[in-house]
Chain A
């Protein structure tokens, strides 16, 4: 029975996709069969893993359970890491979900049979608050929330607390951090004093992460010794620790 981790933040550009791809890759490297579902119609994770952004029947068929979901899964270049690709039709996933009686449970239903096969399932979510996100909240065991330590971050987290009411639990962490900037350091200190659920590991702003878009590979595949890769490894270790607790 697997653990479902969703990378989520209503804001775009905070590092959801690079987090999902890098952590899923590390999970598979560690020997655990892992699935990454790219729910973002932008298909960032799909692009990074060199898979074509196409799912037969699109969002509607997948949600209805009429497409054989397992049949749409693609193996990545990393043995042990599979991808359920994004599809441009996912831009209408909200509408598709609305057709169902309990949209908030729909993704969980679709994921059900897959959970037997994989030890970890990562969901890379689009930046929004919508039926899709609600359905993600209903399917995920944990929410990974990358946060850029700028002034409105604490508001984002507080808003999320309000929506979720504890379930699923949050695993917020600082992403794209530039330690040279005073405001980043201050916001980190501030948030740490306000919240106890923030992860210790901090992921730095890094040119290597940006290069992922050119390399089209996870960090550990081409820049294993770099700072960013080390940070993601530490992040994954810390998350595993939280999962086990």
Chain B
């Protein structure tokens, strides 16, 4: 059992050791110095699982629940790195399951001097092993060095629990030590101005029934703006593909609110911001699409016969090239004036929205729950109607359109209906919707992917390995279209529970 305490306020390693030695029977030994660097994803995926990734002495170590899980030799990473860049092995596998495609970012580098302070009993036997450490964060690129409060880590020797408890009591009540509220890493992260546990892209804005729509909507949109802003730098620096993804999801949600709850906004402002956010979606689209293609490329290979798989290499190269170009365009756009002004003006508008009736539209003062209930009901009914009209002869666009509506409905649920009417109530509805969206998504994505492949053919033909690549691409495109067809066949079965009487009833009752 290990206990961590903070040394008295203002203490140094030496003064803390002296305090303990002065009051208790201890044996001190010089300890080591440590130089440790810590890493986690932007959104704290390791932290969320009680895991720590730390580099020390030429090795990267993964610790979970206090137990070492895997380690690998590695030079100290000074910049963000992807799990895929690590050498194959247990460490990479363990990290992949936790971090996925997210990059591991340096969180803090902590240098600490240590001293062993062991508590002895009257036989001069060690009964508690103590380690005093004086940590300091070292600058790592753009950080500031800072001393953190010294810590005392206590480990009871087996069979001497009573002694450990007594020591703890004495340290806390008489010698000025304090319980450690958070881990050393969290303290270091906070000292560097960061947020322990990372930056979340979740919205989670609490809303109250009866709240005026303008205020509620402004709160949600402000949070979405925050998500856009916090993910901007990672997007521009191309740290990992999730930054752009989270940014686009926040933009998409913003657009959904502007569209579904349009009556809340003054028409002129509404038109401007709708147009500009549509532009943001458009300029960031190609880069994201190519990210997805590249992430899924191994899955594509698996779809074709083994002898075609390596023939697809020129396709991957071409996609990578296109992605580089798309990233350049994206950077130009997001670093430009128009985008900068958009964010600033939008922030200003949202600040004014709750209090100024001139910034509001006709629905601004209505209670948010009423408005949301109305909208959800309307979108849902339209989806039921449109979905029922889909038959074997309907064009694929009909399903694409239904999917778009489904996205808007889902955002209404997630951003508003959940917080207003309770997650318990809303979850079954979201689940049914999600099941439908999955098949609609597959249907549209496969069509888009096949079309994308078709667009590459001219350029592919000109490249080394071109003819073989074309054959393989043809085989892949066929598989994708087959899957699109398969999704179409599943549509009816997935739509049925969505449009069923029980669901209609649930929608009616849930939003009362």
Q: Is the C-beta of A74 less than 8 angstroms from some C-beta in chain B?
A: yes
Please classify the interface of chain B as helix (H, G, I), strand (E, B), loop, or mixed, using the class held by over half of its residues.
loop
Q: Is the C-beta of B123 less than 8 angstroms from some C-beta in chain A?
A: yes
Which residue on B lies nearest to A50, using beta carbons?
A: B125
Q: Is the C-beta of B500 less than 8 angstroms from some C-beta in chain A?
A: no
A74 and B123 form a contact (CB under 8 A): no
B158 and A50 form a contact (CB under 8 A): no
Mask for B260-279, Cβ within 8 A of A = 1, else 0?
A: 00000000000000000000
A77 and B159 form a contact (CB under 8 A): no
B158 and A74 form a contact (CB under 8 A): yes
A74 and B124 form a contact (CB under 8 A): no
A83 to chain B minimum Cβ distance, whole angstroms, is: 8
Mask for B150-187, Cβ within 8 A of A = 1, else 0?
A: 00000001111000000000000000000000000000
- Across the A-B interface, how many residue pairs have beta carbons closer than 8 Å? 28
Q: Is the C-beta of A75 less than 8 angstroms from some C-beta in chain B?
A: yes
Mask for A177-191, Cβ within 8 A of B = 1, else 0?
A: 000000000000000
Residues in A with CB closer than 8 Å to B25 are: none
Among B124, B125, B126, B160, which residue has the most Cβ atoms of chain A within 10 A? Answer: B125
Residues in A with CB closer than 8 Å to B123 are: 50-52, 216
Interface residues on B, range: under 10
Interface residues on A, range: 10 to 19
A75 and B124 form a contact (CB under 8 A): no
A49 to chain B minimum Cβ distance, whole angstroms, is: 8
Cα separation A180 to B159 with both chains bound (whole Å) = 45
Which residue on B lies nearest to A77, using beta carbons?
A: B126
Cα separation A76 to B158 with both chains bound (whole Å) = 8
Residues in A with CB closer than 8 Å to B157 are: 74-76
Mask for A39-50, Cβ within 8 A of B = 1, else 0?
A: 000000000011
Q: Is the C-beta of A72 less than 8 angstroms from some C-beta in chain B?
A: yes
Cα separation A75 to B127 with both chains bound (whole Å) = 8
Q: Is the C-beta of A110 less than 8 angstroms from some C-beta in chain B?
A: no
Q: Is the C-beta of A124 less than 8 angstroms from some C-beta in chain B?
A: no
Q: Is the C-beta of A87 less than 8 angstroms from some C-beta in chain B?
A: no
Residues in B with CB closer than 8 Å to A73 are: 158-159
Cα separation A51 to B123 with both chains bound (whole Å) = 8
B126 and A74 form a contact (CB under 8 A): no
Mask for B114-133, Cβ within 8 A of A = 1, else 0?
A: 00000001011110000000
A70 to chain B minimum Cβ distance, whole angstroms, is: 9
Cα separation A49 to B157 with both chains bound (whole Å) = 13
Q: Is the C-beta of A82 less than 8 angstroms from some C-beta in chain B?
A: yes
Which residues in window 49-72 of A have CB below 8 A to B?
A: 49-52, 71-72
Which residue on A lies nearest to B125, using beta carbons?
A: A50
Among B124, B157, B159, which residue has the most Cβ atoms of chain A within 10 A? Answer: B159
Residues in A with CB closer than 8 Å to B126 are: 77
Cα separation A77 to B158 with both chains bound (whole Å) = 10
B125 and A72 form a contact (CB under 8 A): no
A243 to chain B minimum Cβ distance, whole angstroms, is: 25
A232 to chain B minimum Cβ distance, whole angstroms, is: 22
B93 to chain A minimum Cβ distance, whole angstroms, is: 26
Cα separation A107 to B416 with both chains bound (whole Å) = 67
A50 and B160 form a contact (CB under 8 A): no
Residues in B with CB closer than 8 Å to A49 are: 125
Mask for B377-390, Cβ within 8 A of A = 1, else 0?
A: 00000000000000
What are the nearest 7 A-B pairs in CB distance? Answer: A75-B158, A74-B159, A50-B125, A75-B157, A50-B123, A77-B126, A73-B159
Binding site for B on A (CB under 8 A): 49-52, 71-77, 82, 216
Please name 7 pairs of A and B residues whose Cβ atoms are closer than 8 Å in the assembled complex, sorted by A: A50-B121, A50-B124, A50-B125, A74-B158, A77-B126, A216-B123, A216-B124
Inter-chain pairs besides A52-B123, A74-B159, 18 sampled, C-beta below 8 Å: A49-B125, A50-B121, A50-B123, A50-B124, A50-B125, A51-B123, A51-B125, A71-B159, A72-B159, A74-B160, A75-B158, A75-B159, A75-B160, A76-B125, A82-B158, A82-B159, A216-B123, A216-B124
